[in-house]
């Protein structure tokens, strides 16, 4: 039997709460809100997949060096237990980033005006640990095109998978060809915080990371 749309996006999800310390979610959220840097980005990176009508987007990010200093246990998990879970999702050996700046980041959305840029990834496995929950209908879901080589959120929405954040759930995927973005939150006082982690492999090493990406994301 043939599989329709063999390029359809796939992901793996684990409940990681048993690996996390007590009160970890509130700790991560408070740290993210206290340390996030706001940046206005133009979607001009080689990884950007926004439509031509979008000139700029506001982002709130905590870079990896700040995370390493303030939440060292997150880096410990990234390099050990989380890496072991990621390895279960691929047959190719995985490696953590040697550069803390993008090994682990915290991405933040506040209110109903923000969303995360439509883009593709440059690393073969991306890990997302959700620190906040956003059930269907509340916004904040990860929207991923089931088709490759798509641009713009309207095109992504035409045929997509939606991953609804649940605090403590750890998601892994390869979205180097699948454009994806994070939908706006519905409530004006809502907050979304996710721990983003980059993993690399021999076929797609850290050295292949695009030269403009750190500057684009504001984590130089």
Q: Per-residue pLDDT for 126 more than 80?
A: yes
Mean pLDDT calculated for residue range 2-14: 77
What are all long-range contacts of 67-76, with beta carbons under 8 Å and residues at least 24 apart?
Answer: 67/100, 67/104, 67/105, 67/106, 68/100, 68/104, 70/31, 70/35, 71/27, 71/28, 71/31, 73/21, 74/28, 74/104, 74/195, 75/100, 75/103, 75/104
- Average pLDDT of span 30-45: 96
Which helix (H) or strand (E) covers residue 128, if one does?
Answer: strand 125-130
Q: Greater confidence, 220 or 117? A: 117
Kindly tell me if the per-residue pLDDT of 31 is higher than 80. Answer: yes
Is 205 a residue whose pLDDT tops 60? yes
Residue-by-residue DSSP string for 68-124? HHH-HHHHHHHHTHHHHHHHTT-SS--EE-SSHHHHEEEEEEESSS--EEEE--SSS
| The length of the chain, given as a count of residues | 220
Measured CA to CA, the distance from residue 204 to residue 175 in angstroms comes to 13
Residue 207 CA to residue 209 CA, distance in Å, equals: 6
pTM: 0.95
Please tell me the predicted confidence (pLDDT) of residue 2.
43
Pair 151, 64: CB distance under 8 Å: no
Mean per-residue pLDDT, 156-168? 97
- Give which of 110, 68, 95, 94 is closest to 219, Cα–Cα: 68
Domain 11-200 is found in CATH 2.60.40.10: no
Joined together, the tokens standing for residue 58 give 């506001």
**pLDDT for res 6:** 58
CA–CA distance, 162 with 121 (Å, rounded to integer): 17
């Amino acid at each position: 039997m043939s599989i329709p749309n063999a390029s359809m996006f796939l992901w793996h999800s684990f409940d990681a709460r048993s690996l996390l310390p007590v009160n970890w979610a509130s700790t991560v959220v408070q740290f993210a809100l206290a340390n996030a840097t706001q940046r206005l980005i133009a979607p001009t990176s080689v990884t950007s997949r926004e439509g031509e009508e979008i000139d700029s987007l506001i982002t709130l990010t905590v870079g990896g060096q700040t995370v390493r200093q303030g939440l060292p246990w997150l880096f410990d998990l990234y390099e050990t237990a989380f890496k072991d879970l990621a390895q279960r999702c691929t047959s190719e050996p995985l490696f953590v980033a040697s550069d803390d700046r993008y090994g682990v980041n915290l991405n933040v959305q506040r209110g109903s005006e923000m969303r995360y840029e439509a883009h593709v990834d440059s690393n073969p496995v991306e890990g997302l640990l959700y620190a906040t929950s956003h059930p269907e209908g509340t916004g904040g879901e990860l929207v991923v095109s089931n088709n490759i080589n798509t641009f713009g959120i309207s095109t992504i929405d035409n045929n997509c998978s939606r991953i609804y954040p649940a605090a403590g759930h750890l998601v892994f995927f390869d979205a180097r060809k699948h454009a994806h973005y994070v939908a706006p939150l519905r409530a004006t006082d809502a907050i979304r915080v996710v721990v983003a982690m980059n993993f690399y492999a021999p076929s797609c090493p850290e050295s292949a990371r695009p030269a403009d990406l750190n500057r684009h994301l504001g984590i130089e």
